[in-house]
Amino acid sequence: MEERREMTVREAGKKGGETVKRKYGPGYYAEIGKKGGEAVAEERGREFYVEIGKKGGEAVMRLHGPEFYSEIGKKGGQSVKAKHGPDYYARIGRKGGSAKKKQD
């Protein structure tokens, strides 16, 4: 016999989130998140995001140390290189340089 147990709050939330994702599509969460972010920015000002970003960065640095940023930066650079090829940075550098020349 199968014994039934109650769902945890976490399990219920996950089940509900999956149902909404199936019903409205994965882009739905991005859409409502953007609306929510705009509402917060209107209410508290865009500086609010700068402030919480700094607090988050400081917390991460206290937890992992400053070397953590070097490590994740290298990993990110390697991922970009693997995805776009080794000459990617040279190409975007040229684009940035030519855009700068047009401004001057």
Q: Tell me how far CA of residue 50 lies from CA of 16, 53, 70, 72, 75, in angstroms.
A: 32, 5, 21, 21, 25
**pLDDT for the residue numbered 26:** 84
Q: pTM value?
A: 0.50
Q: Is the dihedral of CA 77, 78, 83, 89 positive or negative?
A: positive
**pLDDT for the residue numbered 73:** 94
Residue-wise pLDDT tens digits, 21-62: 999 998 999 999 999 999 999 999 999 999 999 999 999 999
pLDDT > 70 fraction of the chain, expressed in percent and rounded: 95
* Every domain of the chain and the residues it spans: 14-65, 67-104
